[in-house]
Structure 1
Amino acid sequence: MFKYAFIESELERRTAREQRRRLRPVTPISAIEITVDGRRMINFCSNDYLGLSKHPAVMERACEFTKRYGAGATASRLICGSLDCIHRVEEKLARLKGTESALIFNSGFQTNISLLPALADRRSLILSDHLNHRSIVEGALLCRCRVIRYRHNDMDHLRTLLMRNRDRGYSRILIVSESVFSVDGDRCDLDALTSLAREFEAFSIVDEAHATGVLGPKGMGLACGKPVDLALSTFGKACGSFGAAVSCAAIVREYLINTCAGLIYTTALPPSVIGAIDAALDLIPEMEAQRIELERKAASLRSRLQALGFDTGASSTQIIPVLIGKEAETVALSQWLESRGILAMPIRPPTVEQGKSRLRISLCAPHTEEHIERLVDGLHQWTRKGV
């Protein structure tokens, strides 16, 4: 029997359904322009919301930390990889977030799949928003406890579930949500969520991946200043680098250091990445003008797309879905835009539910009015085609 038969079969199945994922080499030109297959594209897919991946100060400090500390951390933080620069960046983040402490992890996905199993045991209950990121879903499954996905952003449903389960003998209850939902671009009702967590003595865990740098006081996220037990920040989006961190009480940090496998059993982030994070955290609080302008551009783009007849859902952020519905039509629209030098990738099943395929537009501060005009014009031309 051919031992790779199941692999071949799965790839053939995905190819037949036109759902086979492929990696396309790209070359960055600027914060919002890339070369794909030899063609220059305006990039509306990137999460580099403030354009910091190309900021001179971010790149310079990455080089500076490399020269000082070397190319790699060389070990787990629990062995000899906990470089003093990592501790200083954690302290800086905690000050900015207004929390007792912070703990850096290697990525947002790694954080979620290791954080939840460290906090929950088999007698726990996890209440997770229905549209949470796949990393949260996977992390919850690894806990081997009961997981209930409450209706998206429905705090009444969450309250009902908390009331129904409060006296069922669970060791602890964890409420998990994104603050800005990564595919729909809408916001969690954090005031209601934290109020419910307090009332029912549940842990509140909020993933700020798409809010960090862009929203909240000094760009420190929507959970900043709110009574959230654990707030996850990522550094690979608006911060322009890589990695993630949890902001929390000091006792929670100590607990995670002792229980979180994703921290204990992996080599620490390289100094270059820590340097880039350090510079980004210096820059972001002073970028209020860019945040205001990005919010204005996003509101304007949503209005213009709606005027063309496109559904942008409940988006209120720089993430703007262009809901199409049919998978084939969504792919065709993406290809139409790409032929005109605009990269806007289709998001389709299994990432979203059947019938909810869409383009996910990621608007960034460096996008000019001309870039946005080209996107709107491309979409307008598509509607006139009557495809």
Structure 2
Amino acid sequence: MPVSEVWHQRLAVARDERERQQRWRNRRVSAHGALDFAGNDYLGLAQDPRVQAAQAEGAKRFGAGAGASHLVSGHLGIHDALEEALAEWTGRERALLFSTGYMANLGVLQALADSNTAIFQDRFNHASLLDGGALSGARSRRYHHRDGHDLQRLLARSTATHKLVVSDGVFSMDGDIADVGELAHISQQHGAWLMIDDAHGLGVLGENGAGCVAGFNSQQVPILVGTLGKALGTAGAFVAGDAALIEHLIQFSRSYVYTTAQPPGIAAATLEALTIVQREPEHRQRLTRHIDYFRQQAAALGLPLGHSHTPIQPLLLGSEQRTLAWAATFDEHAIQVGAIRPPTVPNGESRLRITLSARHTQSDIDRLLEVAAACLNEEQR
């Protein structure tokens, strides 16, 4: 049998199995004019004319791309300015830019952990954190979701030389928030460092939008990861911490060393977005009102809400079939929602992942709720 046929048979078996489980994913080109309740542009800054203009001006001034990695010739003045601004915003000594959030998490865990390290991760952590732990060669344990007692138990049993506790700040599929204070206390009790990936909290939560880590210093949360493509509306990520951490990552993080630096126009746009986040709290305030309104109305309709009070609002539908049926109805009404199925979430916990934005209007939310209510009513006939 030809080699290509052997491989294509393997691909076909994998496809058939995933389609049988109703878990096959399809890309789609977002339709112009569709109402987006699937993206992570929480403050609407991706569409802000000031951010768009800053990106264009940055590209015009510095070029469309950086042209090299940060350690060769790609680290430009605009990158340096953005790192300084991010460090000040998060109350850290230094910050380091990465091309994506996924690369940031892989890079931190690979650079810090080895076979003498034990990593303790929340069971609901993002895939990039789990993959980073696996690639690091460290011994990894996963504690029950937001369960400090289980984390205490695992840490107490560990004999590892170095211990690292890792958690999302806001969990991307459920929208609930880690108890950062408890995690910091437990980590310090057991001589562990704490790493928080606050991708979905930065810009949305806390004073000045500084996230769920606002008020916690670098002694309590030594490693802070944030993304720029969600509330800030651009692209890329950063790690913030003390100078020793950042210098170590510059030397040993493979996903930092061996990739081209962020396009300078993106850095310029992010600087503008960061200024808006800090100076214009009305965007966060409007988003908070949207969250409260959605939850009140959804509860009144009897929709299967999760327990989130963040922009991530899951409608817990259970089966893949039910989730796909509801998603198809939303598509028919030109409303984009996320149809989330295993393996992204546990078996039996498929859901529509609805995300709210400051750009939405109350009438947009009413339109969403109307379609959701129609789905529920159709099932009850």
- What's the TM-score once normalised by structure 2's chain length? 0.95
1:181 aligns with one of 171, 195, 213: 171
1:101 & 1:54 partners in 2: Cα distance? 29
Match of 2:221, SS state, is coil
SS at match of 1:323: strand
Give the Cα–Cα distance (whole angstroms) in 1 for the partners of residues 83 and 15 of structure 2: 42
In 1, the alpha carbon distance for the partners of 2:379 and 2:91 equals 52
- Counterpart contact for 1:211–1:221, Cα < 8 Å: yes
Secondary structure at 1:78 match in 2: helix
The one of 307, 310, 315 equivalent to 1:317 is 310
Residue in 1 aligned with 2:83?
A: 90
The equivalent residue for 1:7 is 11
Answer yes or no: is the 8 Å Cα contact 1:97–1:225 preserved in 2: no
Task: Describe the superposition over 1:232-262 as per-residue Cα deviations: whole angstroms up to 9, x where unpaired.
Answer: 1100111111000011001110011011000
Per the TM alignment, residue 62 of structure 1 is displaced from its structure 2 partner at its CA by 0.8
2:299 aligns to what? Answer: 306
- The yes-or-no answer on 1:217 pairing with 2:198 is no
**In the alignment, is the contact (CA less than 8 A) between 2:71 and 2:257 conserved in 1?**
yes
1:91-110 equivalences in 2 (<5 Å): 91-110=84-103
Give the SS at the match of 1:18.
coil
Deviations along 1:146-197, one digit per CA (max 9) or x if unpaired, are 11110000111111222222xx1x1210000011000000000011011111
Q: What letter matches 2:8 in structure 1?
A: Y
Q: Is the 8 A contact 2:23 2:320 kept in 1?
A: no
CA contact under 8 A between 2:303 and 2:373: conserved in structure 1?
Answer: no
Q: Is the 8 A contact 2:287 2:356 kept in 1?
A: yes
Q: Cα offset for 1:331?
A: 0.7
Identify unmatched segments of 5+ residues in structure 2: none
User: What secondary structure sits across from 1:79 in the alignment?
Assistant: helix
Q: Which deviates more, 1-10 or 82-91?
A: 1-10
Q: What amino acid is the match of 2:228?
A: F
Cα displacement string for residues 67-103 of structure 1 (whole angstroms, at most 9, x for unaligned residues): 1111111111111111121011100111111110100
Q: Does 1:151 align with 2:127?
A: no
> Which structure has more helix as a fraction of its residues?
2
CA offset at residue 386 of structure 1? 2.3
Where do 1:362-377 residues align within 5 Å? 362-377=355-370
Asked if 2 retains the 8 angstrom alpha-carbon contact of 1:93 and 1:102, the reply is yes
Distance 1:154 1:296 in 2: 30
* 1:358 to 2:348 alignment: no
**Matches of 1:225 and 1:103 in 2, distance apart?**
21
**3-state SS, counterpart of residue 204 of structure 2:** coil
| Aligned residue in 1 for 2:182 | 192
Matched residues in 2 for 1:324 and 1:17: separation? Answer: 16
Partner of residue 124 from structure 2, selected from 110, 114, 131:
131
- The alignment partner of 2:121 has SS state of strand
Question: Residue 50 of structure 1 is aligned with which of 43, 63, 68?
Answer: 43
> Which amino acid in structure 2 is aligned with residue 49 of structure 1?
Y
Distance (Å, rounded) in 2 between the aligned partners of 1:59 and 1:290? 17
User: Where does residue 16 of structure 1 map in the other structure?
Assistant: 20
In 2, the alpha carbon distance for the partners of 1:14 and 1:158 equals: 33
The secondary structure found in structure 2 opposite 1:80 is helix
Q: Deviations over 1:193-234 (max 9, x none)?
A: 111112212110000110111111201111133021111110
Contact 2:107/2:249 (8 A) holds in 1: no
Matches within 5 A, 1:257-276: 257-276=250-269
CA distance in 2, matches of 1:262, 1:143: 12
CA deviations 1:269-290 (Å, max 9, x no partner) are 1111111111111111123122
Q: Give the Cα separation in 2 of the matches to 1:214 and 1:355.
A: 30
